[in-house]
């Protein structure tokens, strides 16, 4: 196989769990369970293909408006995910970071996230950012307020340095599954020049083959960043 241009940083909007379950006459939470099972598979495959940083959108600041039962199920799945990941991250040399406002999570979820982040802090391999209670607009407002508090100048660079994602924060490619053509408040600042890839495939069905399709498409894109190429 010829060498293809691999994106350094990929963001994924993991959408379509609810519809995946509905198609099977199952509750939406069943789709979330399937979706969470898919996270590990795609993470492993993406890193295997040379992606260095992955940022996964797991729960937006707007997702709190869903029925309590669904929100509780999602929080429960996240807890399980981090518990399972603590040992694995260390073994795989992956650094795990949660981006978003963590203060509102249950003490238990906050603890497993902290344990996972602490256990993987010194890992030097891949970076896995998980966006939970994350909103791109809120992130920009927070960054600007931090700068004002510190008496710093507001510049493109200083805002960038005060976002949740600092180093290598700008995704080369953003993939959205589930057939919607929008960003839904994901990486609003960092995504200014990201290549966007939309697929109708629902997140639980997004497998290695679908990942390769997205990477192949990325390899064909001509990134000009406003210049001429």
Binding site for ligand IPE (CB under 6 A): 13-19, 57-60, 63, 74, 178, 180, 182, 184
Instruction: Report in angstroms how near the CB of residue 53 gets to ligand IPE at its nearest.
Output: 18
15 assigned to active site: yes
In the complex, minimum distance from the CB of residue 180 to Mg ion, in angstroms, rounded to a whole number:
7
CB of 19 vs Mg ion, minimal distance in Å = 8
Q: How many residues bind Mg ion (CB under 5 A)?
A: 1
Query: Exactly one of 63, 126, 133, 162 is catalytic; which is it?
Result: 63
Residue number with CB closer to ligand IPE (36 or 53): 36
CB atoms within 10 A of CB 133: 21
The secondary structure of the chain as a DSSP string is -------SEEEEE---HHHHHHTTT--HHHHHHHHHHHHHHHHHHHHHTT--EEEEEEEETTGGGS-HHHHHHHHHHHHHHHHHHHHHHHHHTPEEEEES-GGGS-HHHHHHHHHHHHHHTT--S-EEEEEEEE-HHHHHHHHHHHHHHTT----HHHHHHTSS--TT-S-SEEEE-SS--S-TTSSTTGGGG-EEEE-SS-GGG--HHHHHHHHHHHHH----TTS--
Q: In the complex, what is the shortest distance from the CB of residue 15 to Mg ion, in angstroms, rounded to a whole number? A: 4
55: exposed, middle or buried (Cβ count in 10 Å: 0-12, 13-18, 19+): buried
Chain residue whose CB lies nearest ligand IPE? 18
CB nearer to Mg ion: give 169 or 204.
204
Least Å from the CB of residue 177 to ligand IPE: 8
Q: Does 15 bind Mg ion (CB under 5 A)?
A: yes
* Catalytic member of 15, 133, 162, 172: 15
Of 8-16, 112-120, 199-207, 221-229, the segment contacting Mg ion by CB under 5 A is 8-16
Nearest one of 93, 174, 158 to 127, comparing CA atoms: 93
* 63 catalytically annotated: yes
Cβ proximity to ligand IPE, 14 vs 97, nearer residue: 14
> Which residues make up the interface to Mg ion (CB under 5 A)?
15
Residues with active-site annotation: 15, 63
């Amino acid at each position: 196989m010829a060498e293809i241009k691999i994106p350094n940083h990929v963001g994924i909007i993991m959408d379509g769990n609810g519809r995946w379950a509905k198609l099977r006459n199952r509750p939406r939470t069943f789709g979330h369970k399937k979706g969470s099972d898919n996270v590990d598979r795609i993470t492993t495959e993406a890193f295997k293909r040379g992606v260095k940083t992955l940022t996964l959108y797991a729960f937006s600041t707007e997702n709190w408006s869903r029925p309590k039962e669904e929100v509780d199920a999602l929080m429960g799945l996240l807890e399980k995910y981090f518990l399972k990941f603590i040992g694995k991250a260390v073994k795989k040399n992956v650094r795990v970071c949660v981006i978003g406002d963590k203060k509102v999570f249950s003490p238990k979820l906050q603890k497993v996230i902290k344990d996972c982040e602490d256990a993987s802090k010194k890992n030097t391999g891949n970076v896995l950012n998980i966006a939970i209670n994350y909103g791109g607009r809120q992130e920009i407002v927070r960054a600007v307020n931090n700068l004002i508090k510190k008496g710093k100048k507001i510049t493109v660079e200083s805002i960038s340095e005060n976002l949740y994602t600092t180093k290598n924060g700008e995704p080369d490619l953003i993939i959205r599954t589930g057939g919607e053509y929008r960003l839904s408040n994901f990486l609003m600042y960092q995504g200014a020049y990201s290549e966007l890839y939309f697929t109708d495939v629902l997140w639980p069905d997004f497998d290695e083959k679908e990942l390769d399709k997205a990477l192949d498409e990325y390899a064909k894109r001509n990134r000009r960043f406003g210049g001429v190429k």
